[in-house]
Amino acid sequence: AEGGGELVVRELDLASLRSVRAFCHRVLQEEPRLDVLINNAGIFQCPYMKTEDGFEMQFGVNHLGHFLLTNLLLGLLKNSAPSRIVVVSSKLYKYGEINFEDLNSEISYNKSFCYSRSKLANILFARELARRLEGTGVTVNSLHPGIVRTNLGRYVNIPLLAKPLFNLVSWAFFKTPLEGAQTSIYLASSPDVEGVSGKYFGDCKEEELLPKAMDDLVARKLWDISEVMVGLLK
């Protein structure tokens, strides 16, 4: 139909750097433009597992997979400017810390803390990337979607007797997937945020960050270490 778009589905496993590279190679071969990149996928409070490349699963998928994906597509995004990068984080970033001595959770693992750390890493990555892309016409912003009724919480153990109450609460108070997507859609398409970069949003409005999410030194160190971990630098 006139004015219609085409949905193309491509395989991408963020727990595999090999898969990320193959996906990006195909995109660069097939697509002449990339106007918007939304980094939305994630894993939440899973038992201790490792990615194909040996990274703790939540840090590997939520941060490192997206870090490599974005970097490999940066050239196309710049050539397509004005273009936008949207990074989906979480309010739970507030409970995370970037421990450079144990990024891979080899010393200790707490599934809640590691999720929060990966979401803090998302925000630090977005802010550092925005700094690096100043003047290119590519903007980068992060967001929290709120509590959304999806299967993201499939690893959360809810006692059998409490499940009916939990289901009732989720239907009453959690956002639908469509509602949860609104801030991502806003940042991807609204003229209101044209040229806005390095900010954090919730419910389609800019929100304040805790100081630890605005630490430029930590953001730059995390960037440098991430480059080595995903093989962008030897």
The mean pLDDT value for 181-197 works out to: 98
Query: How many angstroms separate the CA atoms of 161 and 167, rounded?
Result: 11
* Domain annotation covers residue 7: no
Q: What's at 31, amino acid-wise?
A: E
With a cut of 90, say whether residue 117 has pLDDT above it. Answer: yes
Beta-carbon count within 10 A of 25 CB = 11
Return the ∠ at Cα 93 (arms to 205 and 24), rounded to 5°.
Answer: 85
Asked if the structure places residue 125 within a domain, the reply is: yes
Which CATH number belongs to the domain containing residue 94 in this structure?
A: 3.40.50.720
Domain hosting 152: range is 17-230
Is residue 88 assigned to a domain? yes
The pLDDT of residue 208 is 98
Q: Is the pLDDT of residue 1 over 60?
A: no
Of the candidate ranges 58-62, 83-87, 97-101, 167-171, the one whose mean pLDDT is the lowest? 167-171
In a domain, 140, yes or no: yes
Q: CB–CB of 59/118 below 8 Å?
A: yes
CB-based contacts of 129-134 (< 8 A; 24+ apart in sequence): 129/70, 129/85, 130/197, 130/198, 131/198, 131/216, 133/74, 133/78, 133/197, 134/197
Is residue 63 situated within a structural domain?
Answer: yes
- What is the pLDDT, as a whole number, of residue 166? 58
Rg (CA), the chain: 18
What's the mean pLDDT in 86-105? 97
pTM for the full predicted model: 0.91
Q: Which residues of 81-119 are buried (b: 16+ CB within 10 A; e: fewer)?
A: eebbbbbbbbebbeebebeeeebebeeeeebebbbbbbb
Which residue's entry shows tokens 């939540």? 58
Q: What is the pLDDT of residue 150?
A: 72
Q: Which of 98-102, 121-125, 142-146, 162-166 has the lowest mean pLDDT?
A: 162-166
Mean model confidence pLDDT for the chain: 93
Q: Which residue has the higher pLDDT, 3 or 8?
A: 8
Report pLDDT for 139.
98
For residue 116, the model assigns a pLDDT of: 97
Instruction: Return the pLDDT at 36.
Output: 98
Q: How, if at all, do strands 205-206 and 200-202 pair?
A: antiparallel
Q: Answer whether residue 9 is part of any domain.
A: no
pLDDT digits (tens, 9 = 90+) for 199-209: 999 999 999 99
Active site residues: 115
Position 8 in a domain = no
pLDDT of residue 192: 98
Q: Give the per-residue pLDDT at 5.
A: 83
Q: How confident is the model at residue 4 (pLDDT cuts 50, 70, 90)?
A: confident
Show the tokens assigned to 181: 């997507």
pLDDT surpassing 70 at residue 52:
yes
Of 130, 144, 148, 129, the closest CA to residue 208 belongs to: 144
In a domain, 85, yes or no: yes
What are the respective helix, strand and coil percentages of the chain, to the nearest 5?
Answer: 50, 10, 40
Q: How many domains does the chain have?
A: 1
What was the pLDDT predicted at 31?
96
